[in-house]
A and B are shown apart, each in its own frame.
Chain A
Amino acid sequence: MTNRVVVTGLGVLSPFGVGVDSFWSAVKAGENAVDAWHPPGAEGFPVQHGATIKQDTQALVAEELVDFKLPKHIERRAIYALIAAKEAINDARLETELGQAGIAVCSGVPELDDASLLALAEQPKANIMNYALTEREQAIKRFSGIRCSNDVLATTLAEQLNTSGFICNVSGACAGATQAIGLAYRAIKRGEASVMLCGGADSVLSIRTLSALHLLGATAETQRFANQLCRPFDQDRAGLVAGEGGAMLVLESEQHAKARGAHIYAEITGYGSSLDAYKVTAPHPEGLGAISAMEGALQSAGIGAQNVQYINAHGTSTPLNDVIETKAIKSVFGKHATSLGVSSTKSMIGHWIAAAGAPEAIATVLAIRDQFMPATINLTQPDEGLDLDYVMGKGREASINHALSNSFGFGGINASLAIARYYE
């Protein structure tokens, strides 16, 4: 059995606020959500910018999740996922079908609240482990995020929404959400599910995770560009700028969507994933894994490279990714590469790490719906050899029938989704 897979619901909680409308109107306008960010109590923290959710988490719960019975301790990213899922479900007008829906989501590194970590760090070295282990209640709060429940998104959504269908929680580092959407697409295509809720939510704006990314040299730390720090493809790009949020899509088989009269935004036509087998923290210098993922997406979509008009790039603003992604696009698309619009919405919303692919897939769906390519903002001078059409500075109207959404992650994991305008 092979089903066509369509997108019938969207939900986003982004640094621009709650809802797809606030997200997409800001992205279309080329607004910048990156701002100064200083974790309280960590003076001199090397990472000083981020794209944060402005609303207080408890206020978000009170306003958006009043109908849910949430557990006492629930991670911020699970709250983000639930808010986005609720909007996507309402948008898709899923009712009784929700109980049979499947779930495919992604997770990164579990949350650990900064206050707890700081309290721990204030202990003399000899006391640190003892301190953590002798204050059980505090330690559970502090460490349960490190050690436990990294399937929190899948289990929280399944429990709160009372779904009983196909379920998986992917760990694909920065490719995680694209992989989750890809697996949801496959599950419907192969007939294992009729409806899937998929996407991701993440927040790495914490001392612990950003410390680790800093140690790896992945974060942008210069003060030179203030909030214009996320500069994909620019000659002065200096690393990733972290963001946070949740984004979910409802995918359905075409037959299921039409039978219930659902509104169809677009069609997911293909998915490709691959491994670099090169290095854990750096992409293959020729982009072989990225090439393989994009070719896989085109192949499963049954389209040629010349059919594609737009790519929502991984575009992290790191020195390595942007060069190699450009190389890979040139390799896959040949001469057609210069006819493509290639933009990075991370320039506006930052890098949501494990969840990054979810808002980007939604931006791609809406780009197709509105026939509008979002911009890469903060890009003033493309780096040497980066000579594609990166939709610099300002988005524009364009004819888009087929598009790709790329995500590449630590561990050398690559994923690409093919998304198309829906025709009966």
Chain B
Amino acid sequence: MNSHLSSVALVGVASSFADSEFSLLFDNQPEHIAVPRKLKRYMAPAAINSLTATSEALAHISLAERATEVGIYTSQTGYGSPFYSEFSAALPESADSAAQTFKALWSSERVNPFLITNALNNNLLGISGLNWQLNGDACAFIRDQLGAFGALQEAIVAIDAGECQLAIVAIAGNSNDPLARWLQDSESEMAEEVTNGATTLILASEEWLSKTGHKAVARLSILASGYHLNTEQLNTLIAEYVKPSHFLSYYIESAKGKNRILADALASCNVANHHLNSYSGSDICPGVVTSVACNLSTLRKQNHSTGVCVNCDQAGFYSFVRIENESL
């Protein structure tokens, strides 16, 4: 069980989700920004939501000074690419052999040559770097909840260690991808379209705050994270970090075994909360970054001072993060 005590200033936050019950938890939903056509060619589908969220989160922040002082840390949920439709145009109507099918593919000009870059988990990192002309410290993390946590953790420690002054933490994902849904549950209805979503947090060093005069909207601390939580450790963490005065946001994947125990323990805490899994659309890019954005939105609406986010993925990777609302 890892414990962390770093606290870092949050200076920007935004989300861009397809309309859903979940999207109503956020302050607002910005309009998608315009993206150059050339850039679109390189982009996985959820990247547009991420560029929109990042643009919104940076609305009052200038990146003009030194792009090398800006770190960017990203993670993706789901793939969104490649879709069958991306190959479909190039495939022959019938084929005598696999080789014939592949030959058609290999020699086709109708397949996007950037298919592999769209399928990579660092697509969002590259696209964001291009869009904002960022040259500084950078890393893409794999994936889903573990990736989101990795991105947030690295951003916090990079700020703490002076490796960057400003850190963009960008998370994007999708759900309703027909194949992914079907693999989870063959009885499920095929969704007609993929839905995308994204959240971006902007973290800043104290030096950057004093240099620019910006105020933190919140402060984040990673309280604990790791694998293999046993019941005793779980109860200790909850007792230590989830207080009645807090607002709790939690997203626990898989209602089985230890995850079920964790979800039940959190549900029975005497604390106002959002059980994020219960909102439709929350599976688009679950993880600590989205939970933080959700939690802060509620803290602001309800004039709460402190929130705590608890996340746990299917493999049992958990995290506890505290949010201090600085806008009161």
Contacts and interface: CB of A to CB of B under 8 A. Distances in A.
B24 interface: no
B101 interface: yes
Contacts of B141: 168-171
Interface string A194-233: 0000000000000101011111110000000000000000
Interface stretch (A22-30, A138-146, A307-315): A138-146
B140 A169 contact: no
Q: Which of A186, A296, A411 gathers the greatest number of chain B CB atoms within 10 Å?
A: A411
Given A121-B98, A410-B120, A166 B135 contact: no
A108 B137 CA distance: 20
A192 interface: yes
Given A121-B101, A171-B143, A413-B122, A148 B183 contact: yes
Given A121-B102, A126-B93, A280-B114, A165 B2 contact: yes
A108 B106 CA distance: 21
Given A151-B144, A168-B141, A275-B72, A125 B122 contact: no
A129 interface: yes
A422 interface: no
A45 interface: yes
A4 interface: no
A410 B116 contact: yes
A37 B118 CA distance: 27
Contacts of B279: none
Contact of B98 (A118, A150, A412): A118
Interface size class of B (residues with CB under 8 A): 35 or more
Interface string A56-90: 00000000000000000000000000000000000
A158 interface: yes
A192 B84 CA distance: 43
A211 B119 CA distance: 13
A36 interface: no
Interface stretch (B124-132, B258-266, B281-289): B124-132
B303 interface: no
B103 A44 contact: yes
A144 B95 contact: no
Given A42-B98, A125-B94, A144-B183, A216 B114 contact: yes
Nearest to A280: B42
B140 A171 contact: yes
A117 B99 CA distance: 11
Contacts of A133: 179, 182
6 contacts: A108-B120, A124-B93, A143-B183, A146-B79, A274-B138, A280-B42
Interface of B: 1-2, 4, 42, 67-68, 72, 78-79, 82, 84, 88, 91-95, 97-99, 101-103, 105-106, 111, 113-117, 119-123, 125-127, 129-130, 132-144, 146-147, 150, 153-154, 157, 160-161, 163, 177, 179-180, 182-183, 186, 226-228, 315, 317
